[in-house]
Amino acid sequence: MTASFLFKAFAEHNQKNEKLIPKALIFDVLEKSGIRKDDKRLASFFNTLKTLPVNLSEDDFEKLQGLSPALLEQILTGQLTIPRFDEFCHDLSGLYEIVKENRSGKLADYIPQLAKVDPEKFAVSICSVDGQRFDLGDFDDFFCVQSCSKPITYCLALEAIGEAVHKYVGAEPSGKTFNELTLNAKGQPHNPMINAGAIMCGALISTVHKDASNRFDYVMKMWKECAGPERIGFDNAVYLSEKQTADRNYALAYFMREKKSFPQGIDLVDILEFYFQCCSIELNTKAMAVVAATLANGGVCPLTGEQVFRSDHVKNCLSLMSSCGMYDFSGEFAFKVGIPAKSGVSGGIMLVVPNVLGMAIWSPRLDELGNSVRGVELCTKLTERFKFHTFDSTLGLKDDRKDPRRGAYESRLAGTMALCLAASEGDLTELRRLVGRGLDANACDYDGRTPLHLACAGGHMQTLRFLISIGVDPNRADRFGNKPIDDARRSGKDEIISILQDYIKERSQ
Give the annotated binding-site residues for substrate: 147, 195, 242, 249, 275, 327, 345
The amino acid sitting at 225 is E
Q: Which residues contact 492 (CB under 8 A, 6 or more apart)?
A: 459
Determine contact, residues 407/83, Cβ cutoff 8 Å.
yes
SS3 283: strand
Q: How far apart are CA 287 and CA 231, in angstroms?
A: 7
The amino acid sitting at 352 is V
Host H or E run for residue 55: strand 55-56
Determine contact, residues 423/455, Cβ cutoff 8 Å.
yes
Annotation: binding site: 147, 195, 242, 249, 275, 327, 345
Q: How far apart are CA 154 and CA 316, in angstroms?
A: 9
CA-nearest of 287, 293, 319 to 305 is 293
State the virtual CA torsion across 271, 273, 279, 284 in degrees, nearest 10: -130
Q: How far apart are CA 48 and CA 436, in angstroms?
A: 53
Q: What angle do CA 403, 78, 53 make, to 5 degrees?
A: 145
Residue 39: is it exposed, middle or buried by C-beta count within 10 angstroms (0-12/13-18/19+)?
buried
SS3 20: strand
Chain centroid to Cα 298, Å, comes to 12
Q: How far apart are CA 331 and CA 451, in angstroms?
A: 43
Q: How far apart are CA 3 and CA 360, in angstroms?
A: 36
- Number of Cα atoms under 13 Å in the Cβ half of residue 144: 26
Dihedral (CA of 50, 51, 57, 60) sign: negative
Q: What is the DSSP letter of 21?
A: E
Q: How far apart are CA 5 and CA 159, in angstroms?
A: 45
In whole angstroms, how far apart are CA 390 and each of 292, 299, 311, 338, 411? 16, 19, 18, 5, 18
